[in-house]
């Protein structure tokens, strides 16, 4: 089977973890996968799949439109055999789906998150998101992938699409992310986009209050975004806060293995309530305890609040400080064991790859 994945992600971005691990999983299972994105020719030479470079130079707000337009040109000029399936990110689907239909290529819509940009850019993206999903109506040769049950319900409520939606949750590389030798001082960590709408500006206050109560704790923030400079300025005035730019995945895994508590500060807005955050699985695989805001996007069935604690947003600072202050060596050790065990049982990428493979094979069976 030939799979063509049309995506706006660059694979050197930490946010492309899903694409990379699903791609590895499909390649290991014998699928002939081709990634089509804007990265330069030769940039995927070491990956176990084919790569088609589609240049797309444009200002923010027009990048997806330009990329989709250029992909459409390539798609129209390319021949596909009868055993081909397309996977396409929702941000570029509207220009490509009519060509899939014309060429009789089954297609799968990949939705890892509804529009996450705040303000003006979100207003531009929501109509595209809705149209991408509605293209599935009355199309037996299509399916859609979401990250959670809440996400699936949201799609149905907003677009009317209810058939052929499959939950494809985020996973983790259990070999790359493992517990290691911990820092001597209790270390809290957040990694990912350092954007203000993700709640990250509350984290310095959290660790400051812990230290004011007489317990030594450090905070490590890793990433980039519109809150980076503000957080960097705070860190320069604080001996217990460190802010780092995004790091390679191997370095990230090593850093997490030395920390104690992973943070999930994303608030209970629409985007985060529907999410299946990659960082959550990476925290658990590294044996970290987890502290975060209580909403559907962060909740997990079967976890113990002794080591996986979610709090109401309005109580996050007060109750978060109290929870952190009662973490003695025994609780940290218990949490480390149990969080890793949970990840091994429920968070492997193999689970997601199996779900995707079953969906791909259903198209093959229909054919």
For residue 87, CA distances in Å to 59, 134, 153 come to 25, 16, 21
Ranges of the chain whose pLDDT falls below 50: 367
Comparing C-alpha atoms, which of 271, 269, 258, 313 is closest to residue 291?
A: 313
Residue 367 has a pLDDT of 46
Residue 118 has a pLDDT of 61
**Max alpha carbon distance in the chain (Å)?**
67
For residue 250, CA distances in Å to 173, 178, 362 come to 11, 11, 35
Which residues touch 233 (CB under 8 Å, ≥6 apart)?
Answer: none
- Determine the Cα–Cα distance for residues 61 and 125; give it in Å rounded to an integer: 9
Residue 153 has a pLDDT of 93
Question: Quick one: CA torsion of 319, 324, 330, 332, rounded to 10 degrees?
Answer: 120
- Determine the Cα–Cα distance for residues 302 and 239; give it in Å rounded to an integer: 37
Residue 121 has a pLDDT of 63
Domains and CATH numbers, the chain: 2-169+348-366 (3.40.50.2000), 186-346 (3.40.50.2000)
Encode pLDDT of 259-304 as tens digits: 999 999 999 988 888 887 889 999 999 999 999 999 999 999 899 9
Radius of gyration of the chain (CA): 21
Residue 116 has a pLDDT of 66
């Amino acid at each position: 089977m030939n799979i063509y994945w049309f995506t706006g992600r660059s694979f050197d971005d930490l946010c492309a973890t899903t694409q990379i691990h699903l791609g590895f999983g499909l390649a290991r299972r014998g699928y002939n996968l081709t990634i089509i994105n804007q990265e330069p020719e030769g940039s995927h030479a070491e990956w176990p799949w084919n790569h088609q470079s589609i240049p797309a130079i444009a200002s923010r707000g027009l990048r997806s439109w330009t990329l989709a337009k250029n992909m459409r040109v390539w798609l129209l000029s390319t021949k596909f055999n009868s055993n081909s399936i397309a996977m396409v990110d929702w941000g570029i689907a509207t220009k490509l789906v009519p060509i899939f239909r014309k060429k009789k290529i089954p297609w799968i819509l990949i939705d890892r998150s509804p529009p996450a940009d705040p303000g003006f850019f979100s207003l531009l993206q929501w109509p595209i998101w809705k149209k991408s999903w509605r293209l599935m109506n009355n199309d037996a040769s299509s399916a859609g992938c979401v990250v959670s049950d809440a996400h699936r319900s949201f799609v149905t409520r907003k677009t009317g699409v209810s058939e052929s939606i499959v939950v494809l949750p985020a996973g983790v590389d259990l070999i790359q992310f493992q517990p290691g030798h911990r820092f001597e001082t209790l270390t809290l960590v957040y990694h990912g986009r350092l954007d203000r709408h993700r709640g990250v500006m509350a984290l310095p206050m959290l660790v400051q209050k812990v230290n004011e109560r007489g317990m030594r704790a450090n905070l490590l923030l890793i990433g980039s975004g519109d809150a980076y400079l503000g957080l960097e300025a705070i860190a320069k005035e604080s001996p217990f806060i460190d802010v780092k730019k995004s790091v390679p995945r191997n370095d990230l895994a090593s850093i997490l293995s030395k920390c104690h508590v992973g943070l999930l500060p994303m608030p209970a807005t629409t985007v985060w309530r529907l999410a299946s955050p990659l960082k959550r699985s990476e925290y658990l695989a590294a044996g970290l305890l987890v502290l975060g805001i209580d909403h559907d996007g962060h909740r997990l069935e079967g976890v113990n609040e002794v080591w996986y604690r979610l709090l109401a947003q309005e109580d996050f600072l007060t109750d978060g400080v109290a929870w952190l202050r009662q973490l003695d060596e025994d609780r940290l050790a218990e949490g480390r064991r149990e969080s890793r065990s949970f990840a091994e049982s429920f968070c492997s990428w193999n689970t997601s790859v199996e779900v995707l493979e079953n969906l791909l094979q259903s198209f093959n069976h229909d054919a």
